[in-house]
Amino acid sequence: MNRMRARIKGLGHYMPGKVVKNEEFLDWEFYDIKGNKINKPNEEIIQKFYEITNIKERRYAEDEILTSHMATEAAKKAIEDAGIDPDELDYIIVGSNYGDIEKGSQFNDYVPSMASRVKYYLDLKNPDTVAYDILFGCPGWLEGVIQAHIQMKAGVSKYALVIGADSLSRVTDPYSRDSMIFADGAGAVVLEMTTDKNAGILSHRSQTFAAPEAELLWNRSSINPHHNQDMKYIFMQGHKIYEFALTKVPAAMKAAFDASGEDIRELKKVFIHQANEKMDHAIVKRFFRLYGMPMPEGVMPANIEFMGNSSVATIPTLMDQVRLGMIEGQELNRGDLILLASVGAGMNINAVTMRY
């Protein structure tokens, strides 16, 4: 039996310095999806938003910072935590949805790839360190982890750097309430090949629902008909995504966990994509209900309250913050049985069972 698998050797994240609190949206003009101005006090809109998402503030990249810069800083921390020579890396995989976007521009710059830029910024000279990007919606970082794991099982990789980074603040419609959800950031992990049966990835599951789910999250012109209609922004059908996630994600998580052969009572943490805390809690609660048990207290760490939704960056950022003791009442210890799960544009879902 092939016992080779990927395990986490190092973690790192980049937390942008610009903090944007909910109060900063008090002077915005909000429109609905039909192009009508919402005639409600912004205080009421913001309070309702907070009750649904539990987001009080989010992080935006500084004006001069690009997504690839954030990705590089997170990578440096993960490499330092792993204690390896970065030229030993066999792969650099970067999950991102929009590439580099300069402040005030909507040009998505993907040439060269984000991964190649990170390799350049790290000044890595080894041509055998293969760098490539992955576009898989919010689950992109976790899908990169799965790909690295498969490469390690095949015996073609010893070390891999997997990064999730996005600057969603630069692709949000300033007239949409959804603009309050999205944020910027980067998280990274160094994976190493191991044969230790008590460490690493035990099982995984990935799915794509595209007909008609591909239309649940997409790019379109501003919902304000008087705003420049040539500009494209990220949009989502929030209620339909909520229903989709609650219906499909718990089952995918269960399929991944069941394939591990582990006892559900031993599961220590569920690190789920920080999309909407109310939705995340409902997903995890339904997951445990599939096993006929209540959701254990403290099993779902969260940082969306002060980080917002940074898409592909949320899971590695959350894991690193828990590891560093930045999330009150949460800890992550070597050997802990954990489950990682994400859902996003595609619509894509994935889940990974591992021992940290």
pTM (whole model) above 0.75: yes
Q: 200-236: per-residue pLDDT in tens?
A: 999 999 999 999 999 998 888 999 988 988 888 899 9
Q: What is the pLDDT of residue 231?
A: 85
153 with 230, same domain: the answer is: no
* Residue 268 shares a structural domain with residue 181: no
Residue 107, pLDDT score: 81
CATH number at residue 40: 3.40.47.10
Could you say which of 161, 194, 227 is where a domain stops?
A: 194
Phi, psi of 321 (to 5 degrees): -65, -35
The predicted structure's pLDDT at residue 331: 95
Question: Which residues partner with 219 through β-bridges?
Answer: 234
Query: Residue 197 above 90 pLDDT?
Result: no
Q: What type of residue sits at position 9?
A: K
Domain boundary among 139, 168, 194: 194
For residues 168 and 55, what is the distance between their CA atoms, to the nearest angstrom? 15
What is the tens place of the pLDDT at every residue in 284-322? 999 999 999 999 999 999 999 999 999 999 999 999 999
In the DSSP assignment, the letter for residue 156 is S
> Is the domain of 180 the same as that of 329?
no
Average pLDDT, the chain: 95
* Measured distance CA(98)–CA(82) in Å, rounded: 28
From the list 311, 279, 223, the residue with the least C-alpha distance to 300 is: 279
**Residue-range definition of the domain harbouring residue 296:** 200-355
- Asked whether residue 125 falls in the same domain as residue 18, the answer is yes
Pairwise CA distance, residues 202 & 194, whole Å: 12
Contact 165, 71 (CB under 8 A): yes
What pLDDT sits at residue 321? Answer: 98
Residues 244 and 146 in one domain: no
Six token digits for residue 274:
């920080």
Task: For residue 273, give the nearest of 330, 350, 170 by alpha carbon.
Answer: 350
Nearest Cα neighbor of 162 from 135, 180, 176, 142 is 142
Note whether 191 and 78 are within 8 A (CB): no
Are residues 183 and 218 located together in one domain of the fold?
Answer: no
Q: Quick one: what percent of the chain has pLDDT higher than 90?
A: 88
The predicted model gives 182-192 an average pLDDT of 98
Angstrom distances, CA of residue 63 to CA of 18, 169, 213: 9, 11, 34
- Token digits of residue 278: 């109310």
**Residues 305, 349: one domain?**
yes
Is residue 131 within 8 A of residue 148, CB to CB? The reply is: no
Query: Among 194, 211, 228, which residue terminates a domain?
Result: 194
Q: Are residues 45 and 86 in the same domain?
A: yes
Residue 2 has pLDDT above 80, yes or no: no
Return the structure tokens found at 350.
Answer: 């994935």
CA angle 47, 52, 58 (to 5 degrees): 75
Strands 267-272 and 337-344, how do they pair? parallel
Considering the domain architecture, whether residues 315 and 285 belong to the same structural domain is answered as yes
Could you tell me the two tokens for 129?
A: 């360190």
What is the per-residue pLDDT for 238?
87
Buried b (16+ CB within 10 A) or exposed e, 248-287: bbbbbbbebbeebebebeebbbbbbbbbbbebbebbbebb
- Provide the residue type at 342 as one letter: S
C-alpha span between 147 and 93 (Å, rounded): 9
The pLDDT of residue 324 is above 80: yes
Q: Are residues 36 and 178 in the same domain?
A: yes
Distance of CA 252 to the CA centre of its chain: 17
Does residue 181 have a pLDDT over 90? yes
**DSSP letters for 214-253:** GGGEEEE--SSTTS-TT--EEEE-HHHHHHHHHHHHHHHH
- pLDDT tens figures, 109-168: 899 999 999 999 999 999 999 999 999 999 999 999 999 999 999 988 999 999 999 999
Please tell me whether residues 292 and 179 are part of one structural domain: no
Pair (125, 240) in one structural domain = no
Asked if 89 and 159 count as a contact pair (C-beta separation under 8 A), the reply is: yes
User: How many domains would you assign to the chain?
Assistant: 2
Q: What is the pLDDT of residue 228?
A: 86
